[in-house]
Amino acid sequence: MTKTNNSYFPFLSIRAGQREFMDDVRDSVESEKILIAHAPTGIGKTVAALVPALQYALENEKTVFFLTSKRSQHKIAIDTLRLIKQHTKLNFVAVDVTSKQSMCPRATSVYREFYSLFNEFCKSEQKNKRCRYFLKSDEEALRRIRDDILHVEELCGWCAGRGVCPYKAALEVAERADVVVCDYNYLFSPDIAEMVLEKIEVGLDDLIVIVDEAHNLPDRIRNNLSNTLRMSTVTSAAREIRYIDREMYGNLMELEKIFTKLALEASKNKAVEIGVERDFLLEEMEKVLRRRIEAISYDDFVNTLQSIAEDLETTGEAKTAGSTKDVFSAEEKRILKTLKKSRDSSIRTTRSPRYKKEKETAQRNIINVAEFLDGWRTREKCVRIFSLVPRENPMLYFKLLDPSVISAPIFARVHATIMMSGTLCPTEMYADVLGATPDRIKGKEILMREYRSPFPEENRQIVVTAELTTKYTERGEEMYMKVAGKISEVAKYVKGGMAVFFPSYALLKDIATYLPEDVRSRALVERRKMNKEEKNRLYESLRDTTGGILLAVQGGSFSEGLDYESNTLKAIIVVGVPLSPPTLEVKTIEGYYTGKYGAEKGRLYGYLHPAVTKVLQAAGRGIRSEQDRCIVVLMDYRFAQFPYKQCLPSDYNVTFTDRAEVLCRKFFLT
Ligand code: SF4
């Protein structure tokens, strides 16, 4: 293996584990390998991945695609690239992009939600030369994006201020960029990847791919090819379309009948969920569409719904307020009539806020049906389920079963891939699930590595408590009281802020009921539907209060992705294991992997590991730098038993005890 050339490294010293990781990244880019790296927090993985990848890219005319799953991860990548640029004085180009609709200065909230709707709007605006942002060319705007490394927010602000389309400008610069920081979808969503790569004229074999927080990749790929349709959405879409297109109204009512048919079948089988074949819905729909007066195909049905939703967007936009008498076209009048009839007679003009809101709701419902039916046609293997939960509003949904059908062909074609995360263990599971295995990727070596945390071991203590659990069979008042009591005992000795992460909001509520007053008076509670500002305020209260106790859920915004500054969390309690209920979906995924890898791995891949990853993410919020200290209490005895114990990373040095509070007191005395 070649030794790391550190000339691009912008810091004075290289941390333990970081050098090893950099060597592996360099080896991977030089020898076209796939690296799956479990790199604990604090190792400095962003810079360790970017330095060798960028150096190789510049010397060999490759492009680094730094892919993230969340917008918040862009910042650290861009800040690191700025540091490398300052340090090396090299004139490389790096551009930060997010989705087109999130960068567009003209996107409404509906457009932000529905890509297909937005994309049609954008394409039509470009084609008809109606988008002034798109029409304007501005060398000065491009020059700044090329010369400075801008965060995407800065880029959008700069371009919008100059009347230039930010997305178009970013992609123009990306054509010659050495690094593109972007979302997973730029590579792992086939439609978007094809369009972007064609636009920036880069072939897959020219890409060095870095996947940040790669534990999110399997779910993201699955979710990209998934959709849900509720019966109430079909009913609302039908009602909203009634006065616009009678035939389409009838077609939607037929779709509603298919839901009723499925509900009857489920009830007959005394089941709340039943599997649905791809062809069942297609054939049922085709059958009814053929019987209608204006017989149309399934494709025409989907396209017509899409067009109606698009037309709703332009309807009435340029009108002045006033009577509908002479100002509106016949179609607009029909829509107004529909909206008025269906909801509220106070809607008087296409300018009224009520009209806009109603129009958006109508669009949402109609496009939801169209996108669902469009996606349902996929031939990829999916879990397809009809669910009677809740009974009064059943749903039909599908989700890609095996993410490797998308990721493996990409890994095979790109120059090199680095997948990294602080919770990418066991690496073998991620290799299997994403298809980075020798039988799928011919001629590329696959490296699986687990690096040790660079921080002093004595700064982190991990405790597993005896007797306590959230195991379904042991749940109840008695257990909740014991868990609440132990939280309180531990909290007494914590010097500073702490967080308690529960498996669900329901368990948070159930256990919090029994928390004594001394904990309640310090509690800051995450609620189910908090907006960004509320979450920020909650975080700031925790950071600025001495001894605050955050009560939040595993798998939520407070337990994943959030960087707690300045050792805010001195103690973390993770209550239980957030195992999914044994739904048909979970059983289908488990069964699929059992068929592929045997029963033990099937259970691990389909059931246990997704839950343990959430636990590890939550447990990892405490230590972010060399000086930080944190005690982690895993409050479930299953972590001391097979198979849960085997799911913990190799550097987890665990103490099993029924006196977690004693260890906590000692930890804060040292
Ligand atoms: S061309 Fe640019 S500014 Fe115009 S609609 Fe499309 S993304 Fe928005």
416: β partners: 208
Q: Which of 121, 585, 175 is nearest to 310 (CA)?
A: 121
Nearest CA to ligand 1 atom 8: 104
Scanning 185-344, the segments in alpha helix (DSSP H) are 185-188, 190-199, 217-224, 231-241, 246-268, 278-291, 298-314, 330-342
Instruction: Tell me, yes or no, if the two domains 61-108+128-202 and 457-669 fold the same way.
Output: yes
Query: With contact defined as beta carbons under 8 Å apart, do 285 and 279 qualify?
Result: no
Using a 6 Å CB cutoff, which residues line ligand 1? 100, 104-106, 122, 125-126, 131, 133-134, 165, 167-168
334 pLDDT band, cuts 50/70/90, is low
**Domain 61-108+128-202 adopts which CATH fold?**
Rossmann fold (3.40.50)
What percent of the chain is modeled with pLDDT above 70? 93
pLDDT over 60 (residue 617): yes
Nearest CA to ligand 1 atom 7: 104
pLDDT over 80 (residue 508): yes
pLDDT over 90 (residue 70): no
Distance 105 CA to ligand 1 centre (A): 7
Q: What is the DSSP letter of 98?
A: -
457-669 maps to which CATH number? 3.40.50.300
What percent of the chain is modeled with pLDDT above 90? 74
Mutational test site, ligand 1, from 134, 138, 159, 314, max ligand atoms within 8 Å of CB: 134
Nearest CA to ligand 1 atom 5: 122
Q: Cα 326 to chain center, whole Å?
A: 48
- Closest ligand 1 atom to Cα of 106: 8
pLDDT tens track for 132-147: 999 999 999 999 999 9
CA distances from 469 to 459, 465, 492, 511, 519 (A): 26, 9, 21, 12, 20
Residues 24 and 425: their CA atoms lie apart, in Å, by: 17
pLDDT of residue 19: 92
Supply the pTM of this predicted model: 0.88
**Domain 226-400 adopts which CATH fold?**
Fumarase C; Chain B, domain 1 (1.10.275)
Residues in the chain: 670
Q: Which long-range contacts (CB under 8 A, 24 or more apart) does 644-648 make?
A: 644/577, 644/608, 644/612, 647/426, 647/604, 647/608, 647/609, 647/612, 648/612, 648/616
Domain ranges of the chain: 61-108+128-202, 226-400, 457-669
340 pLDDT band, cuts 50/70/90, is low
Helix (H, G, I), strand (E, B) or coil at 294: coil
Question: How many CB atoms lie under 10 A from the CB of residue 90?
Answer: 13
CA distances from 530 to 487, 521, 619 (A): 24, 21, 22
Residues 473 and 290: their CA atoms lie apart, in Å, by: 52
pLDDT of residue 332: 54
Mutational test site, ligand 1, from 124, 165, 195, 199, max ligand atoms within 8 Å of CB: 165
Among the residue ranges 164-173, 506-515, 554-563, 583-592, the one predicted with the least confidence is 554-563
Q: Which of 515, 570, 565, 573 is nearest to 540 (CA)?
A: 565
